[in-house]
Amino acid sequence: MKPMPLVAGNWKMNGLRASQAELDALNAVLTAKGAPCEVLICPPFTLVAAFAAATGDKVAIGAQDCHAKQSGAHTGDISAEMLKDAGAGYVIVGHSERRADHGESSEAVRAKAEAVLAEGLKPIVCIGETESERDAGKTLDVVLGQLAGSVPTGSTAANTVIAYEPVWAIGTGRTPTVAEVAEVHTAIRSALVARFGADGTGFRILYGGSVKPDNANELMAADNVDGALVGGASLKASDFTGIIDAYRS
Ligand code: 13P
């Protein structure tokens, strides 16, 4: 059975308290039209609690990172337990911006994902190749290596989401072709089935990287694409609902 698609917005380091107007607008549209898929907004840490308190039943709230430990002397860090307490349901881990800016290895990402699972929250584990890795023909090696290294043993289709985000497609307006997306997603699917058996068929595998209302239809229709992880186009409810519309038949 095909899993319920998930369209998730990653606000990255964007959003002030006034930005709750966009969440309100998103909730209003989805309440009026119904939600054709699961919908998630991951604002910066500062807005997680307020957004979780303000959202309706159509939009879940998540966070963009967490520490691998539950508490302790880690100045400036946030734990999965804190995010659960704030009302988050999902936590993005291993985003390429964190792998690049903070040197996070797949081993570190896996530890974070384990911390998320331990709190009963769902990790969205991000993987993806750089442009030079793609040019060198290493895309599948890199992506499948990150998948194997970053996804915990305790992951299941019900508790973990995978996001394939080619680094060179993030924020650039460039995307792989539909065939290229399908190739990588199908390879990820095969690896999940090889590792998790039949349950591997049910993991949601999101595509991320320059998803916009005008390319969402074709990208979301690609084989083994079960939703989107959206950056820039998730900041405005009008754009984000245009992407969600890809799941209205
Ligand atoms: P853009 O949609 O802005 O390309 O960002 C994608 C992304 O990194 C989502 O996590």
User: Does residue 71 sit within a domain?
Assistant: no
CA distance 156 to 145: 18
Give the closest residue (by CA) to ligand 1 atom 7: 231
- The response to whether residue 109 sits with its C-beta less than 6 Å from ligand 1 reads no
pLDDT tens digits for 235-247?
999 999 999 999 9
Output the CA 145–ligand 1 centroid distance in Å: 21
Q: What is the pLDDT of residue 2?
A: 78
User: Does residue 163 sit within a domain?
Assistant: yes
Q: Spell out, as residue ranges, where the chain has pLDDT lower than 50.
A: none
pLDDT, mean over the chain = 98
Least Cα distance to 61 among 34, 38, 36, 42 occurs for 42
User: Does residue 58 sit within a domain?
Assistant: no
Q: Do the beta carbons of residue 225 and residue 219 sit within 8 Å?
A: yes
- The response to whether residue 209 sits with its C-beta less than 6 Å from ligand 1 reads yes
CA distance 71 to 61: 22
Whether 95 sits among the annotated catalytic residues: the reply is yes
User: Does residue 130 sit within a domain?
Assistant: yes
- The response to whether residue 62 sits with its C-beta less than 6 Å from ligand 1 reads no
Q: What is the pLDDT of residue 167?
A: 98
Whether 185 sits among the annotated catalytic residues: the reply is no
**Per annotation, catalytic residue among 22, 95, 119, 185:** 95
User: Does residue 79 sit within a domain?
Assistant: no
Q: Which residue has the tokens 């009963």?
A: 120
Least Cα distance to 125 among 87, 153, 101 occurs for 153
- The response to whether residue 173 sits with its C-beta less than 6 Å from ligand 1 reads no
Q: What is the pLDDT of residue 1?
A: 63
Could you tell me the residue range of the domain that residue 191 belongs to? 122-179+186-210
* Number of domains, the chain: 1
CA distance 118 to 4: 23
User: Does residue 192 sit within a domain?
Assistant: yes
